[in-house]
């Protein structure tokens, strides 16, 4: 059985989750390789998942973990679609540089 999951422990896990989220955001903003950009978005998913599980452990409920299952499902769907689009874009211009698709900016 879980022993007590204190408020301080919750704060520590939240800090780790938010730092991971911020690192992923930096990567998404400044990297130019489309694949690395989507890896960074997966990092942001991870940070959010840590927060969900930490709150679930704090409250002694399973809702946090079941939401992480949905995060995993959405991440899998997003990875499949994004990688299909990346392959398509690569076949079009023979590069995965996000700067090469500037005409999408409108």
Partner 1 sequence: MVDPQFAFSQTFPTLAATEASAGKLVASTPLAPAIVVALCVVAGLATWLLLPGKREAAIRSIGGVILLATGLVFGAILVRWTAAWGGMSFYFWAFSAIALFASVRVITHTKPVYSALYFVLTVFATAGLFVLMWAEFMAAALVLIYAGAILITYVFVIMLASEATTGTVGAKADSFISEHDAVSRSPLMASFTGFAIAGLLVFLILDKGSQIPEPPAKSQAAVDLGSAQELGRNLIEENAINVQLAAVILTLAMVGAITLARRRVIVAPQDQSIETVVSPGTPVDDNPHSIPVYGTTNPRHKAYPET
- When the beta carbons of 29 and 106 are compared against partner 1, the nearer one is 29
Query: Do 85 and 97 form a contact (C-beta atoms < 8 A)?
Result: no
**Closest approach of Cβ 93 to partner 1, in Å?**
7
Q: Which is nearer to partner 1, 91 or 106 (CB)?
A: 91
In sign, the C-alpha dihedral spanning 24, 25, 30, 33 is positive
DSSP state of 60: T
CB of 61 to partner 1, least distance (A): 7
Based on the number of CB atoms within 10 Å of its own CB, is 93 exposed (0-12), middle (13-18) or buried (19 or more)? Answer: exposed
Q: Which is nearer to partner 1, 76 or 106 (CB)?
A: 76
Q: Shortest distance, CB of residue 55 to partner 1, whole angstroms? A: 9
CB nearer to partner 1: give 69 or 104.
Answer: 69
Least distance to partner 1 from the beta carbon of 25, Å? 5
CA-CA distance, 27 to 79, in Å (whole number)?
17
């Amino acid at each position: 059985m879980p022993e007590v999951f204190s408020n301080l422990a919750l704060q520590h896990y939240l800090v780790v989750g938010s730092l991971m989220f911020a690192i992923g955001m930096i990567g998404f903003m400044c990297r130019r390789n489309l694949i690395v950009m989507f890896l960074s978005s997966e990092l942001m998913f991870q940070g959010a998942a840590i927060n969900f599980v930490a709150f679930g452990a704090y409250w002694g409920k399973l809702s946090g973990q079941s939401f992480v299952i949905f995060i995993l499902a959405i991440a899998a769907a997003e990875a499949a679609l994004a990688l299909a689009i990346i392959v398509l874009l690569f076949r079009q211009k023979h590069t995965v540089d996000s700067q090469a698709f500037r005409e999408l900016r409108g």
